[in-house]
Structure 1
């Protein structure tokens, strides 16, 4: 869904989250997350790693950006497009590798 049209107080389904369509919602459900509220308190990096393990596939890093965007949003951050988190992800991963 378009980030500018999302009201976190009215979300009931994962597909109502900014940046989440049917495929990403299905990925979240594989991780045991059934509602947007299930993202609160979760770590986006952990979600990404768990998804890679569960599916047996190393997913594109933009999936981590997407997870960062929705966790941030559900924890009170603004509704932003997933690519707004790309630079933050790159800095985070670079710091972790150092």
Structure 2
């Protein structure tokens, strides 16, 4: 079992997304940015994913970097503000 599966917001879907992205460890995840992962996932799968996937990426990266396990929806308001401002990832 991957150490990624021990992160708070990681279930089967997130593990599958990480596999598509080539991310196999928490250390590797810690070096990533949520925007980059979201855009890359959409490109690799040929589809726009629910923006909540970005929030999961943000939460898991935060935990990988800091050890603090926050719920993914903690990151939703900031993403929604960026969407409103037009500064969220262009997919």
1:96 aligns with 2:87: yes
In the aligned structure 1, how far is the partner of 2:17 from the partner of 2:71? 18
1:63 aligns with 2:68: no
Unaligned runs of 5+ in 2: none
Of 13, 17, 25, the match for 2:3: 13
Runs of 4+ in 1 over 3 A off after TM superposition: none
Displacement, 1:77?
A: 5.4
Displacement, 1:43?
A: 0.7
* TM-score, normalised via structure 2 length: 0.85
Unaligned runs of 5+ in 1: 1-11
CA RMSD of aligned residues (A): 1.6
Alignment correspondent of 2:28: 38
Equivalenced residue count is 86
Alignment correspondent of 1:52: 42
Q: Deviations over 1:40-72 (max 9, x none)?
A: 121101100100011111000000000000111
Displacement, 1:95?
A: 5.4
* TM-score, normalised via structure 1 length: 0.79
Alignment correspondent of 1:6: none
In the aligned structure 1, how far is the partner of 2:49 from the partner of 2:6? 22
